[in-house]
Structure formats: C-alpha cells, structure tokens
C-alpha cells in the first residue's frame, strides 16, 4: 500500500496534468456511474415490488372463489390446504383470514426488523343474494427484494469502479503517449531555450504522418519554431542596429564639433567629449540643465535667457537656428561659438528633443577682425584708410543734412617728405609718418576722424561744426603740433605740413567734390610758403586745372 501511495505521489509530481485528468475522469465517471447504477437498481427494485404486487393480484383472482366456496361449505380441511398453498408461494410469509362473524384463522409468522407489504381482499358468496363470508390479508416479506438490491449495488459498483478505473488508466496512457510526453518535451525545450541554441529547432518524437503534421501539437511546434526563427532574425537585426547605434554614438562622441542633446523642455540629456573640452563643463554636472544657464554669472543668465528664447521660437517656426554667439567657458573666458540648433523628430514628425551643434570660431573671428582692420585701417599708422575715411565722410554728410550742421574736410600733406625719405631712409620716413599721425590725432576731439590716404597725405573729417571758424582753430592746433622737431635716427628734423580746408555744404554737398576742393586748397597752402593752411575758394579750381594742364 505504501509503495502504491509513493508511486501515486511520484505520478502526481511528475505529471500534474495527467494526474488532474485522471482525477477528473474518476470523479465524473464515478458520479455518472453512481447515478446510472442508482437508476438501474431502483428500476430493478420497482420491478421486484411490481412482481410481488402482481403475485398478490394473482392470489386474489386465483383463490377468491375457491376460498369462498370452502368457507360456504364449512370445509375446514380444504380451506387449510388452500391457505397452505398460498403460504408456500414465494415471499408470502403470513396469512390472516377473518371469518364472519367473529372467528379468525392465522397462518405463518411476520418476521421482525424487516419491511413487509400486505394485500387484503373480501371473500363473498354469490347466490340469490351476496353474502360476505370473510376477509383475507396476505403479508409478503420484502427481505429478498432488499437483499437482491444490496447485492446488485455491490456488484454494480464494483464492476463500474473497475471498468472506470481501467478505462481511466487507458485514457491516461493514451494521453501520456500522444500528448503529455510531447508537452514535457516542449517544456524541456522551453527551459533550455536560450540565445546560444537558436539554431536547434523543436522536434517531437512521433511518426511523420499527414495527421501528425496537421494536429494541434504540430501547430504548437511550428509556432515555437517560427518564434525561434523570428527571434533569430530580430537578434540579427538588433545586432545590426546596435552596431549602427555604436557607430553613430562613436561618431557623435568623437565629433570635432561639440554636441548637446536636449529633451522637449530643453534639459540637457547628453554632451560629448568635445563639448567638455570646449567649455570646461563635465557632462555629469550639466545633465538636466538648460544650455543657456550653465554660467554662474547673473548678467550672462539674463542675456542667454533672451537669446535662447529667440532660438526656441525660430526652431519651432522655421525648424532650424544658425548663428554666432559669444559664449563663456567654465573659467570665465569668453569665446566665439557658431551654433546650429535643430529639432529631433520621431516617426510622426513630432519634436522629441533638440540637437545643438557648436564649433569654436574664435580664431576665425580674430582673422576676420584682422582682415577687417587691414581692409579699413592703415597698417603703418593704425589710422583709417581711404575706404573707411570715405564711408565716415558720407555718414558725416548724411548726419549734417539731418541736423543742418557743417562738416569740415581737411587735406594734409607733409612738406619735404620725399627729401626725408631719400636722405634718411624709408624706416625714418615710416617713423615720421607714425609720429605725424599721432600729433594730428592729438588735436582732434572724439567725433572727428583722421585718416591716412596714402604716402604722406592725411585726411581730417570734422563733423557737427557750427561755423567755418572751427576748422581754422583745428588747423592752427595741428600746425603748432608740427613745430617741435622730430627725432629720426638720432637726428632732429623739422617737418611741417600744408593743410587745405573745404566745408560742407558751403563749398560742395558732394563728398568727392569736397575732397577735390580740399586738395586744391592744400596746394594753395603750399604756394603760400608751406606750414600753412588755406580755405577753398572757387578760383582755386581754375588754378588747379591750369596746373594740371601745365604738368
């Protein structure tokens, strides 16, 4: 018994599905057997009772007339013989005959502790009149009926139990052979399934027939193998995608431009190594911050807040922002940076973040400023050159037209400069020009401009004048500054200058004509004996034309 329980427990643990199936089969089969057996036994029980009832009816129909005749003839012996015949019938155990008027005849004995059934009928004599001779009560014992019923219950239950048990065992064996063992194979395959054995398909140990290829187990097996193939394809695609992601990640990390990736709220999510090198901020310390508030300067915060507000609006409207900003490194050093800001969109076209590319253009800015200075300033003296001087003159004339003021134009030429250059050398000449530019500049106020037109020629622009006499005052100051000697190559040299003056709009309202008139006035000053200044007069134009024709 213990061994049977051990095997049953092992079966329950090893094959729980089969064990539950067996339990359900036994349970429902037993219930069905009990119901069907109970119905069958009850039917047989009713048949036995009906048989006893029919026997009672037979006694009534078969013995009524003969018993009535015996009572009428008072033939006691015959009556007793008839009663004994009735008593000898199956299941009849007791007879009670009441004889009118007050006698009684009893035969047999009613057993104790058992159920009985009785049947009573009258004994009548039919003559000219109907006479009631007596009443016979027949008692039948139901012991045999109940005994047969108990025996049938035992036999039926035992038979049905063994039949159900063996059928259940057969069903379980069939289930184990055709289903459960393959499910166990699938479970074992699933437990051992990993990324290392994707190439091994699931195979069931059963014949390869058309029925087996189309049943549910084959469908599940095919589904698992298809899942394995899809997983294998997904892994290969994932490896390719991961390689692409690694490549793009390396490209971003090793990019020569600084890269910032922000979320929808412009909070920094990623910063590459170039950004750290460029700004000095560690990526870990700026994660979650806005790119415009990295600096700790309150003034920089206000400027950056307005700048990034305009950047955000343009990116939302146009889709890109590109420009140059003056950024601040972590150590407080400022540098020029070129930024490109674009949104990062998903498959639906919605912005999920923002990409900020930056490049240090400080060197380029310095080159641009140097080129701009070279294009607009004299390299030797640092004064504005002819091009910048003409631009400032045009601006001064435009402002004078609006304000109804005067503009003075002074044309200066150093006297005997060629002689200095030839005798003392070009280095001395250059030093002379530098010192002359300094002396001229010292005589002017902040809004005035002094420019070198080339060689030893200088141009002075005096905007916002109230009267022509102001130009004379400036000219006198310049002549006084030229009075002290110049020290060239350890030798004192006296150099003077001649100044020609033209006034807008008195002499002309055109910048080109003003320069020509100032040049003509300068030649007039030279004819005066040098170290002098002269205002333009209309007749100087004719003298200038005559001199040009003579030359």
Query: b or e along 209-221 (b: 16 or more beta carbons within 10 Å of the residue's beta carbon)?
Result: eeeeeeeebbeeb
The pLDDT value given to residue 281: 86
- Give the per-residue pLDDT at 499: 93
Q: What single-letter DSSP state applies at residue 384?
A: B
The predicted structure's pLDDT at residue 501:
92
| Half-sphere exposure (Cβ direction) of 409: Cα atoms closer than 13 Å | 30
Which residue from 428, 443, 505, 442 is spatially nearest to 474, judged by alpha carbons? 443
Which residues are annotated as catalytic? 456
Calculate what percentage of the chain has a pLDDT beyond 90. 13
- Taking residues 90-111, report their average pLDDT: 83
Q: What is the DSSP letter of 377?
A: B
Return the beta strands (E) in 19-129 as ranges.
Answer: 92-99, 103-108, 116-126
- pLDDT, tens only, 296-323: 665 666 677 788 888 888 888 888 999 8
Asked whether 49 and 141 are in contact (CB, 8 A), the reply is no
Query: What Å distances lie between residue 83 and 94, 96, 136, CA to CA?
Result: 10, 9, 10
pLDDT at 310: 87
Residues with Cβ < 8 Å from 424, sequence gap 6 or more?
488, 489, 491, 493
Q: What is the structure's pLDDT at 1?
A: 57
Taking phi over 0 as left and psi of -120 to 50 as alpha, with beta for the rest, 280 belongs to left
Query: How far apart (Å, rounded) are the C-alpha atoms in residues 517 and 540?
Result: 8
Q: 412 φ, ψ to 5°?
A: -115, 140
What totals of helices (H) and strands (E) does the chain contain, helices first?
17, 16
pLDDT at 103 over 80: yes
Per-chain mean pLDDT for the chain: 83
- The fold adopted by the segment(s) 377-550 is Alpha-Beta Plaits (3.30.70)
CB 508 within 8 A of CB 502: yes
Does residue 459 sit in helix, strand or coil? strand
pLDDT for 160 beyond 90: no
pLDDT at 298: 57
Q: Which of the four pLDDT bands, split at 50, 70 and 90, describes residue 212?
A: confident
- Quickly state the pLDDT bin for 4 (edges 50, 70, 90): low
Q: Do domains 256-366 and 377-550 have the same CATH topology?
A: no
Positive or negative CA dihedral for 64, 70, 71, 77? Answer: negative
CB of 532 closer than 8 Å to CB of 478 = no
Q: Residue ranges per domain, the chain?
A: 14-147, 256-366, 377-550
CB 494, CB 419: distance < 8 Å: no
226-251 pLDDT per residue, tens = 888 888 888 888 888 888 888 877 87
Q: Where are the alpha helices (DSSP H) in 130-267?
A: 143-175, 181-191, 210-214, 216-253
* 53-69 tens-digit pLDDT: 888 888 878 888 888 88
CA distance 228 to 190: 11
pLDDT in tens, 405-459: 999 999 999 988 888 888 888 888 899 899 999 999 999 887 899 999 888 999 9
- Whole-number pLDDT of residue 301: 65
Q: What is the CATH number of domain 256-366?
A: 3.30.450.20
SS3 103: strand
386-403 and 511-527 helices cross at what angle (nearest 10)?
Answer: 110
261: which DSSP letter? E
pLDDT at 5: 62
Q: What is the pLDDT of residue 296?
A: 66
pLDDT band for 34, please (50, 70, 90 cuts). Answer: confident
**Residue 478 pLDDT > 60:** yes
HSE at residue 391, side-chain half, CA atoms within 13 A, is 8
Residue 542: predicted pLDDT:
65
Phi/psi zone of residue 497: left (φ > 0), alpha (ψ -120 to 50 degrees), beta?
beta
Residues 310, 323: Cα–Cα separation, whole Å:
12
C-alpha–C-alpha distance, residues 464 and 434, integer Å:
27
Provide the CA 466 distance to its chain's centre, in angstroms.
72
What pTM did the predictor assign?
A: 0.47
Tens digit of pLDDT for each residue in 349-404? Answer: 888 899 989 888 888 888 878 888 777 888 888 899 899 889 999 999 999 999 98
In this predicted structure, the answer to whether residue 293 has a pLDDT above a threshold of 70 is yes
pLDDT of residue 382: 87
- DSSP track, 303-362: HHHHHHHHHHHHHHHHS-EEEEEEEE-TTS-EEEEEEEEEEEE-TTS-EEEEEEEEEE-H
């Amino acid at each position: 018994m213990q061994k049977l329980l051990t095997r049953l427990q092992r079966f329950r643990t090893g094959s729980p599905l089969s064990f539950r199936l067996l339990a359900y089969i036994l349970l429902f089969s037993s219930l069905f057997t009990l119901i069907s057996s109970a119905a069958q036994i009850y039917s047989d029980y009713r048949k036995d009772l009906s048989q006893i009832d029919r026997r009672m009816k037979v006694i009534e129909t078969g013995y009524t007339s003969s018993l009535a005749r015996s009572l009428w003839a008072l033939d006691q012996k015959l009556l007793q013989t008839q009663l004994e015949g009735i008593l000898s019938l199956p299941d009849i155990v007791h007879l009670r005959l009441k004889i009118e008027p007050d006698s009684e005849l009893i035969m047999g004995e009613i057993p104790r502790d058992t159920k009985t059934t009785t049947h009573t009928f009258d004994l009548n004599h039919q003559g000219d009149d109907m006479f009631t001779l007596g009443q016979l009560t027949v008692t039948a014992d139901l012991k045999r009926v109940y005994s047969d019923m108990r025996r049938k219950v035992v036999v039926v239950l035992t038979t049905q139990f063994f039949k159900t048990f063996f059928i259940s065992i057969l069903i379980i064996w069939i289930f184990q052979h055709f289903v459960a063992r393959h499910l166990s194979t699938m479970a074992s395959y699933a437990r051992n399934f990993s990324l290392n054995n994707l190439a091994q398909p699931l195979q069931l140990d059963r014949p390869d027939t058309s029925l087996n290829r189309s049943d549910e187990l084959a469908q599940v097996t095919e589904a698992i193998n298809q899942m394995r193939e899809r997983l294998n394809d997904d892994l290969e695609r994932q490896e390719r995608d991961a390689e692409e992601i690694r490549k793009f990640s390396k490209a971003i990390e090793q990019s020569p431009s600084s890269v910032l990736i922000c979320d929808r709220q412009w909070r920094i999510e990623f910063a590459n190594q170039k950004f750290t090198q460029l700004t000095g901020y560690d990526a870990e310390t700026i994660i979650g911050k806005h790119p415009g508030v990295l600096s700790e300067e309150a003034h920089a915060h206000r400027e950056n807040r307005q700048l990034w507000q305009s950047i955000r609006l343009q990116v939302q409207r146009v889709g890109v922002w590109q420009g140059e900003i003056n950024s601040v490194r972590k150590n407080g050093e400022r540098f020029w940076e070129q930024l490109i800001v674009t949104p990062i969109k998903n498959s639906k076209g919605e912005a999920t973040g923002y990409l900020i590319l930056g490049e240090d253009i400080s060197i380029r800015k310095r080159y641009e400023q140097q080129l701009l200075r070279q294009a607009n300033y004299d390299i030797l003296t640092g004064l504005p050159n002819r091009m910048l001087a003409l631009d400032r003159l045009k601006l001064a004339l435009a402002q004078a037209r609006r304000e109804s003021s005067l503009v003075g134009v002074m044309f200066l030429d150093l006297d005997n400069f060629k002689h200095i250059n030839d005798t003392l050398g070009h280095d001395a000449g250059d030093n002379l020009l530098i010192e002359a530019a300094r002396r001229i500049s010292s005589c002017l106020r902040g809004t005035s401009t002094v420019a070198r037109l080339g060689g030893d020629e200088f141009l002075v622009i005096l905007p916002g004048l109230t009267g022509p006499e102001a130009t004379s005052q400036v000219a006198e100051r310049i002549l006084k500054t030229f009075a002290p000697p110049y020290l060239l190559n350890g030798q004192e040299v006296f150099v003077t200058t001649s100044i020609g003056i033209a006034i807008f709009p008195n002499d002309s309202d055109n910048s080109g004509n003003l320069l020509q008139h100032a040049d003509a006035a300068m030649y007039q000053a030279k004819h005066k004996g040098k170290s002098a200044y002269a205002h333009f007069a209309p007749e100087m134009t004719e003298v200038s034309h005559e001199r040009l024709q003579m030359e």
